[in-house]
Amino acid sequence: MGRTFFWLGLVLAFSVCPAFAEKSADFFKSYQQYNDAGKAFLDKIDPKTGAIDLAEGVHLDLKDKFYFLNKEDTTSVLTEAWGNPPDAGSDAVGMIFPVSNDPIAENNWGIELRWEKIGYVDDSEAGSIDYNELLRNMRADTLSGNDQRVKDGYSPITLIGWASPPVYDAVNKRLHWAKELQFGNDAVHTLNYDVRFLGREGVFVMSYIATVEQLPEIKQSLDEVLDLAVFKPGKTYLDFRPGVDTVAAIGIGGLIAGKLAAKAGFLVVALIALKKFGLILLIPLAGLWRIIRGNKTTS
């Protein structure tokens, strides 16, 4: 009885007007392949292309190659469709996806957007960083944090190495790197690919949510992704006012070496599980994925 009311409520929650359905059908080329629940999920989100101005002083120019989902839609994707806990994406300002992928596609990837108001990051050390030594220190830090992660109920993490070594563009003030991680004894490794845009008051963050197997595709997209975001006038790195603005407590090395939190990579692990099993049983709404996939065969 309770299950009947649960699914009835879910169906009612996804009831949308025909106009939204028509818009989704036009935007998402894969729309017709889903059953009613999958279509209803796509109907309730509002993808936007072109120019997007974020409150954090960042301008996105997505043209017609990527689309943006606001914070509310991002939460829906991360929790309802991908089966993460309710607080997943609580610090996100949105997500972007390539227009070729919808958020519930089987082989999709997305980029979570965040704003870290940590102050102006001094990049004077960037040219002298030994990234091999930095990696050794990061491995040691990750290993030392595993006892606490296990106590907190999370799998231990092994930092396998650089999936893509750090690159800092001193002219455009952009930093990107990727780590390959193993959670517990998982055979499928996790990709942790991060992009940082340095500004006057902090750092705009793009974090890929993808698997290691998608690394070639991610690398192919990188040049386009790096050109998607700029700080608006007054918020750029060069607008920094010494003695007036806050200076961050870390430099370029600190951005890269930031210690892995207990939940590090959790969104990606959830995505891997979805691709492997077709559903996640983390929260009740995870059953939505099974409905969205309809009668599709899962491994």
pLDDT tens for 51-88 read 999 988 999 999 999 999 999 999 999 988 887 778 88
Neighbour count for residue 273 (Cβ, 10 Å): 20
4-13, 41-50, 73-82, 147-156 — which is least confidently predicted? 4-13
First to last CA, the chain: 30
Task: Say which DSSP state 29 is in.
Answer: T
Indicate the average pLDDT of the chain.
83
Are 30 and 105 within 8 A, CB to CB? yes
The larger pLDDT score, comparing residue 261 to residue 87, is at: 87
Taking only the tens place, the pLDDT of each residue in 208-229 is 988 899 999 999 999 999 999 9
Q: What percent of the chain has pLDDT over 90?
A: 60
Taking only the tens place, the pLDDT of each residue in 116-168 is 999 999 999 999 999 999 999 999 999 998 999 899 888 899 999 999 999 99
The larger pLDDT score, comparing residue 13 to residue 181, is at: 181
- Position 93 scores a pLDDT of 96
* pLDDT band, residue 287 (cuts 50/70/90): very low
- Position 29 scores a pLDDT of 87
Measured CA to CA, the distance from residue 289 to residue 105 in angstroms comes to: 11
Residues 6+ apart with CB under 8 A from 31: 24, 25, 39, 42, 102
Cα 243 → chain centroid = 34
Measured CA to CA, the distance from residue 246 to residue 78 in angstroms comes to: 33
The larger pLDDT score, comparing residue 251 to residue 18, is at: 251
Q: Is the pTM of this model over 0.75?
A: yes
